């Protein structure tokens, strides 16, 4: 099923229906796995990656229907592909024991963060698009893909809204994570690379929001900042493989 | 028929060069009188718009140094302008004038503004008297051709104007224009047009800043906008999302430091500057600022150009129409040149005949009416026989570009008075002696030729 999804992604740029079919299969896959192992299964890296990929694909589809533009696909689909691929080859199939007292909270922690990630990624894509489109407008060349894009300000608004929406989720997710970790491991969790990177990412996004509010940063500066944020976010996600806390081997 | 054109336009020179040639309306009469005071230049007219500065002239003797005018009037050295100017002579010049008036030479083929601009230039030139005879006819004809092109082809029907491109670009930046505000700097017609388009697409607030506040108020009233004194320009411009500038200022009005200030005030919300002024009002450096987009007249027109795919066919039809009109004009003009010679030749011989008749009259004594008529017929017959060949030669030469030589030869042979401008209805040409046939209007010319053939 995941294989099908991946195929859909690759041809997605030319064939929207393939994406649709891929998404349906992907959705079925996620739901079935959840049905098999219970919702707590979301807490495996594999499932988290898979869900994030699905979420991003859904967001993209909504945007596609809204603005009739498939341009962001060039940026979005490789990521979805990467996420699904990583998820598919991941050997970890270790679910946290369902009896875990924390499972409800952990589920909450993971799902808010996944949503946060998806939103922040969307905002990153928007800021990159903004940058490229602004360049095009300034250089007075209009290539056909820009003509099909929504207006510059709409892209900007979209990124900003995604940021506004994603940030609280991320904050809540991080707070629940910290509380859970505090209870479980004591103060030592702070030193965990995953935690450090997550906090750094959070700080970058806070800066992004702040500069936007106070000085209305957008365009080049904002895009640079968003890229830094995204890079940190990728590291934070990748740190799943390094972190002790997120090995999901604990009880 | 010695027409000349020299100029710079959007095809030959970028806006940086064109703006140096631009002659503001207020200085046009002065430039025209300088032009016509130059040696050999009988008539002159100058069209100065954002896309072109073109000098039309007619010379008496076929020599006309318009480049000298450029050097003297603008103070340019030849190296500065030579690579940017174009020049046309004679029928090429006629064709050029027709094409310009018909909007075939425009960057946006079929746009309607150029005709109005040429008409304005013509009115100015007429008012100062620098256009009074043949150039006048040429332009009158050009306006008729423009009208014909407009009505017989559809090049104008899908006209994509600068204004609509401005709207499109604004849409690319802002999405919906709803709730957006527009600042007009300068109360010109182009500004008004663009504003009208923007309002039609949802822009709500209009500000008008103009050096003469009265005009700003008048324009603002049309859009229920707000007129703003020019002194407050820099404080108020950041209020607007879209700024359209078309002042006649010789220097830039908005420079980079202004842009930085605007962005600061606006918290970096994007601004769209449209510069339709030549010379430009907006420093191109402004475009380097994050969040400010500057489009000048050339940029806009390039966008327009890229939209023009389907109009090509109609433009070709229009070109053919213009070519035909040029041929007609040429034929008519050449006949018009030949006719005065034929007429004066006829008059000359008639005078000779009368004189000779009067001279021998006394010796003939009393004649019967029949004899009277016979003499009349005899002398007329001789004259007509003599005249026949020169007239047919002249007529044939009318279609020949070398017609002036033949005319000269005929005039010399028969010792006719020198040709004065045939259409010297204007008081300026007082030198026209009575013998010169009065204002032979082009349409009458063929009739006259026919008459003389008998």
Q: What is the ipTM of this complex?
A: 0.73
To test the contact with chain A by mutation, choose from B203, B268, B299 the residue with the greatest count of A C-beta atoms within 10 A, namely: B268
Q: How far apart are the first and last CA of chain B?
A: 28
Q: Which residue of A has its CA nearest to B296?
A: A140
Give yes or no: residues B124 and B235 share one domain.
no
Give yes or no: residues B356 and B292 share one domain.
no
Give yes or no: residues A223 and A123 share one domain.
yes
Give yes or no: residues B72 and B135 share one domain.
yes
The pLDDT of residue A198: 83
Nearest C-alpha of chain A: how many angstroms from B241?
12
The pLDDT of residue A228: 86
Is B169 in Cβ contact with A152 (below 8 Å)? no
The pLDDT of residue B392: 84
What residue numbers bound the domain in which A2 lies?
1-90
Structural domain total, chain A: 2
Nearest C-alpha of chain A: how many angstroms from B144?
37
Strands B271-275 and B292-296: parallel
pLDDT at A8 over 50: no
Give yes or no: residues A132 and A224 share one domain.
yes
The answer to which of B107-111, B284-288, B319-323 has the lowest mean pLDDT is B107-111
Give yes or no: residues B99 and B200 share one domain.
no
Nearest C-alpha of chain B: how many angstroms from A166?
22
List the structure tokens of B262. 């605007």
The pLDDT of residue B246: 87
Higher pLDDT, B68 or A14: B68
- How far, in Å, CA of A134 to CA of A125, rounded? 14
Domain end (from B272, B307, B342): B307
Number of other residues whose CB lies within 10 A of the CB of residue A147: 11
Q: Which of B169, B172, B269 sits opposite A216 (nearest CB)?
A: B269
Give yes or no: residues A25 and A76 share one domain.
yes
Q: Which of B13, B28, B46, B50 is catalytic?
A: B50
Give yes or no: residues B140 and B167 share one domain.
no
Per-residue pLDDT tens digits for B93-145: 899 999 999 888 887 777 778 888 899 999 999 888 888 888 888 899 999 99
Tell me which residue of A82, A87, A64, A86 sits closest to A18, measured CA to CA. Answer: A64
Strands B181-185 and B3-9: unpaired
Establish whether B50 is a catalytic residue: yes
Q: Which of B174, B287, B290 sits opposite A153 (nearest CB)?
A: B174
B323 in a structural domain: no
CA B266 from centroid of its chain's CA atoms: 44
B268 contacts in A (CB within 8 Å)? 215-219
Q: What is the mean pLDDT of chain A?
A: 71
Tell me which residue of B193, B246, B286 sits closest to B19, measured CA to CA. Answer: B246
What residue numbers bound the domain in which B199 lies?
162-307
The pLDDT of residue B393: 82
Is A152 in Cβ contact with B172 (below 8 Å)? yes
Structural domain total, chain B: 3
Give yes or no: residues A69 and A123 share one domain.
no
The pLDDT of residue B258: 93
Give yes or no: residues B126 and B264 share one domain.
no
Number of other residues whose CB lies within 10 A of the CB of residue B291: 23
Strands B271-275 and B52-59: unpaired
To test the contact with chain A by mutation, choose from B270, B272, B300, B304 the residue with the greatest count of A C-beta atoms within 10 A, namely: B270
Mean pLDDT of B301-324: 78
pLDDT tier, B208 (very low <50, low <70, confident <90, very high otherwise): very high
Nearest C-alpha of chain A: how many angstroms from B180?
12
pLDDT at A40 over 90: no
The pLDDT of residue A31: 65
Based on the number of CB atoms within 10 Å of its own CB, is A113 exposed (0-12), middle (13-18) or buried (19 or more)? buried
Contact criterion met (CB below 8 Å) for B236 and B226: no
Higher pLDDT, B16 or A50: B16
Mean pLDDT of A58-83: 67
Per-residue pLDDT tens digits for A168-209: 888 988 888 888 777 776 666 666 777 788 888 888 888 888
Based on the number of CB atoms within 10 Å of its own CB, is B363 exposed (0-12), middle (13-18) or buried (19 or more)? exposed
Residue recorded with tokens 């957008």: A218
Looking up residue B84, the CATH number of its domain turns out to be 3.30.460.30
pTM over 0.90: no
Give yes or no: residues A133 and A48 share one domain.
no
- How far, in Å, CA of B168 to CA of A82, rounded? 38
Interhelix angle for B66-74 vs B28-36, to 10°?
130
- How far, in Å, CA of A137 to CA of A142, rounded? 7
Per-residue pLDDT tens digits for B371-422: 889 988 999 999 999 888 888 888 777 766 666 677 778 888 888 765 544 4
């Amino acid at each position: 099923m995941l294989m099908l999804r991946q195929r859909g992604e690759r041809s997605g740029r030319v064939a929207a229906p393939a994406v649709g079919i891929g998404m349906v299969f992907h959705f079925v896959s996620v739901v079935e796995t959840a049905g098999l192992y219970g919702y707590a299964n979301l807490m495996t890296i594999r499932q988290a990656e898979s869900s994030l990929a699905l979420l991003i694909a859904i967001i993209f589809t909504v945007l596609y229907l809204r603005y009739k533009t498939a341009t962001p696909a060039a940026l979005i689909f490789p990521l979805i592909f990467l996420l699904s691929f990583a998820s598919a080859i991941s050997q970890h199939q270790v679910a946290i024991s369902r009896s875990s007292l924390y499972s409800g909270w952990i589920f909450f922690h993971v799902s808010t963060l996944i949503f946060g990630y998806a939103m922040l990624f969307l905002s990153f894509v928007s800021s990159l698009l903004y940058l490229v489109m602004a360049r095009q407008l300034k250089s007075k060349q209009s290539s056909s893909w820009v003509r099909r894009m929504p207006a510059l300000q709409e892209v900007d608004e979209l990124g900003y809204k995604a940021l506004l929406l994603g940030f609280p989720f991320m904050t809540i997710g991080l707070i629940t994570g910290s509380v859970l970790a505090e209870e479980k491991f004591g103060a030592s969790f702070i030193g965990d690379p995953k935690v450090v990177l997550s906090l750094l990412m959070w700080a970058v996004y806070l800066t992004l929001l702040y500069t936007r509010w106070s000085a209305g940063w957008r365009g080049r500066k904002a895009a640079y900042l968003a890229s830094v944020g995204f890079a940190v976010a990728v590291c934070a996600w990748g740190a799943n493989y390094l972190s002790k806390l997120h090995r999901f081997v604990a009880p | 028929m010695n027409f000349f054109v020299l100029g710079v336009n959007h095809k030959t020179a970028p806006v940086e060069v064109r703006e140096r040639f631009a002659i503001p309306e207020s200085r046009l009469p002065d430039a025209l009188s300088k032009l016509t005071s130059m040696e050999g230049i009988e008539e002159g007219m100058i069209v100065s718009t954002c896309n072109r500065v073109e000098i039309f002239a007619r010379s008496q003797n076929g020599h006309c140094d318009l480049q000298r005018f450029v050097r003297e009037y603008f103070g340019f050295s030849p190296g500065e302008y030579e690579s940017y100017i174009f020049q046309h002579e004679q029928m090429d010049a006629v064709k050029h004038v027709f094409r310009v008036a018909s909007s075939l030479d425009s960057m946006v083929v079929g746009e309607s503004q150029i005709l109005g601009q040429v008409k304005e230039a013509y009115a100015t030139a007429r008012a100062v008297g620098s256009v009074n005879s043949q150039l006048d006819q040429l332009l009158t004809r050009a306006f008729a051709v423009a009208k014909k092109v407009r009505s017989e082809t559809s090049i104008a029907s899908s006209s994509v104007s600068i204004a609509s491109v401005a709207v499109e670009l604004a849409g690319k930046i802002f999405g919906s224009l709803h709730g957006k505000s527009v600042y007009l700097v300068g109360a010109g017609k182009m500004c008004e047009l663009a504003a009208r388009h923007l309002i039609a697409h949802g822009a709500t607030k209009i500000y008008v800043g103009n050096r003469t506040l009265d005009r700003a108020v008048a324009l603002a009233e049309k859009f229920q906008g707000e007129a703003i004194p020019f002194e407050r320009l820099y404080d108020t411009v950041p209020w607007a999302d879209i700024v359209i500038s078309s002042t006649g200022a010789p220097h830039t009005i908005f420079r980079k430091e202004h842009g930085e200030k605007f962005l600061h005030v606006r918290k970096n919300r994007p601004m769209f500057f449209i510069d339709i002024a030549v010379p430009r009002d907006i420093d191109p450096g402004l475009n380097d600022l994050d969040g400010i987009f500057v489009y000048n007249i050339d940029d806009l027109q390039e966008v327009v150009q890229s939209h023009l795919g389907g109009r090509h066919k109609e433009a070709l039809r229009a070109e053919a129409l213009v070519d035909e009109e040029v041929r007609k004009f040429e034929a008519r003009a050449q006949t018009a040149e030949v006719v005065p010679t034929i007429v004066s030749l006829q008059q000359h011989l008639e005078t000779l005949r009368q004189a000779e008749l009067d001279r021998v009259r006394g010796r003939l004594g009393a004649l019967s009416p029949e004899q009277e008529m016979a003499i009349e017929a005899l002398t007329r017959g001789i004259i007509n026989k003599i005249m026949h060949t020169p007239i047919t030669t002249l007529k044939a030469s009318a279609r020949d570009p070398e017609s002036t030589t033949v005319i000269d030869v005929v005039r010399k042979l028969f010792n006719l008075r020198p040709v004065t401008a045939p259409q010297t209805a204007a008081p300026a040409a007082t030198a026209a002696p009575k013998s010169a046939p009065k204002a032979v209007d082009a349409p009458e010319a063929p009739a006259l030729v026919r008459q003389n053939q008998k």
